[in-house]
Structure 1
Amino acid sequence: MAVGAESAAAKAALRRRMLAARQGLTEAERSFAGSALRDTLLERPELTMGGTLAAFSAMGTEPPTGRLLYGLWKRGAYVLLPVLLPGGDLDWAAYDGPDSLAPGPAGALEPTGPRYGVDAVRRVAAMIVPALAVDGAGRRLGRGGGSYDRALARMPAGALTIAAIYDGELVDEVPVEPHDRPVAAVVTPGGGFRRLG
């Protein structure tokens, strides 16, 4: 088996394991995670001192982000959320409170306002991204579509990139492929904010 195929197979196995573990979380555990992530990230000056941020609207078993998005918005942050494009790339539009969202084609809530294009993230100070697992070097395991790897590749130098994950999803090693982009930090419900690398 070629090295690329080995990495892809290892990623698929890890992805299955992490998704199965998330299925076992209770609604109370998910709700607690959403509150803990909100509380931790709202203490970060990089996210609350104004400026433009990119984030995500959680779907399925992802750590809930609704309270975080609302808290950032109420504190004056200009928050961009993704709009999934055909082919898997991400366009971006502003979060203007919970009423500015509608279900998108993949099931995630997406902003309904004007779109700013895939390059909108070139002007953000920080991006909060979903992940199924992250390792100590910042290597991130997503769902396999490459959407956030493309977005992370467009981030300006020095911008803060944070993966929001559950406890137990900071792992020893995430297999990588050439297109994978690392994150600079993670936030977990029990461990708070942690810089990586």
Structure 2
Amino acid sequence: MEFDGRVDEPDKKTLRRGLLAARDRLPDEDLRSAGRALAARALELPELAGARTVAAYVSVGSEPGTGALLDALRARGARVLLPALLPDNDLDWGEYTGPASLAQVRHSGKMELFEPSGAKLGPDAVTGADVVLLPGLAVDARGLRLGRGGGSYDRVLARLERAGARPRLVVLLYDTEVVARVPAEEHDRPVHAVVTPSGVRRFA
């Protein structure tokens, strides 16, 4: 049975499991074409056109691909920051200067991630970003994002709030991952927009 995004409000674990299973069924060619389309759509965003610093991430596995987007942002002259996972699930940041600046890192009990191999800039580096591109599994009509459950980006969003930073928050997803509603908690904060291979949706 395919997951179609039409849910009332299941628990987060059930929803995550269905979304991840749907991603894992995507053929490789669909993953590649979705990554190209996602980059094209994201590059149309006015926020990215004027951004001097963008905090982004390297997609892994069946996540919507970010490789083409990272290189296009650098070609535009933007400074691109990428996360490095810390032992407590917080995120440090380093600068992306091309594929050669990435190292494949295996964290205990987690998938292998591609992280910046150069100097680390500290967790607060994200507060200088004009746009933060967020991974996720779904976003709902309120702009609330469902992540994988590790809490890393909840910490990032809390850090931005404490610093008084106001970057534009954009989540990158597949079309079927824009759903009616995701389970929300008091600390959850809405994103400003979602980019999918077919377009952009903004939230108030």
TM-score, normalization by structure 2:
0.88
- Native 8 Å contact 2:51 2:131 kept in 1: no
Amino acid paired to 1:188? T
- Superposition pairs for residues 149-160 of structure 1, below 5 Å? 149-155=154-160, 156-160=164-168
Provide Cα deviations, 1:69-125, integer angstroms capped at 9, x if missing partner: 011011100000000000100000000011100112241210111111111111110
Is 1:126 the equivalent of 2:131? yes
CA contact (8 A) 1:84 1:104 kept: no
Deviations 1:47-84 (A, max 9, x none): 13241110010011100101100110111000000000
Q: Is the 8 A contact 2:94 2:117 kept in 1?
A: yes
CA distance in 1, matches of 2:190, 2:123: 19
Matched residues, number: 189
Alignment of structure 1 residues 1-40 onto 2, 5 Å: 10-40=11-41
Partner of 2:189: 181
Structure-1 separation of matches of 2:124 and 2:101:
21
What is residue 177 of structure 2 aligned with on the other side?
Answer: 169
Is contact 1:50-1:76 (8 Å) kept? Answer: no
Specify the alignment match of 1:100 in structure 2: 101
1:5 is matched with which residue?
Answer: none
The 3 A distance-change label for structure 1 pair 96 and 171 is same
Q: State the shift of 1:179 in Å.
A: 3.4
The answer to whether the Cα contact below 8 Å between 1:126 and 1:159 also exists between their aligned partners in 2 is yes
Q: Which runs of 4+ in 1 moved over 4 A?
A: none
DSSP-derived class of the 2:175 partner:
coil
1:157, distance to aligned residue in structure 2 (A): 4.2
The residue number in structure 2 matching 1:82 is 83
Q: What fraction of aligned residue pairs are identical, expressed as a percent? A: 52
CA-atom RMSD in angstroms: 1.6
SS of alignment partner, residue 178 of structure 1: coil
Give the alignment's TM-score, normalised by structure 1: 0.91
Which 5+ residue runs of structure 1 have no aligned equivalent?
1-8
1:117 to 122, 145, 159: 122
Hey, what does 2:56 align to over in structure 1? 55
Structure 2 residue runs without a partner (length 5+): 1-9
Mean CA deviation greater in 159-168 or 102-111 = 102-111
Query: Which residue number corresponds to residue 67 of structure 2?
Result: 66
Aligned to 2:140: 135
How many Å separate the matches in 1 of 2:196 and 2:95? Answer: 25
Whether the 8 Å CA contact 2:51–2:130 is kept in 1: the answer is no
- Distance in 2, Cα, partners of 1:81 & 1:59: 13
Q: Distance in 2 between matches of 1:138 and 1:101?
A: 31
2:151 maps to 146
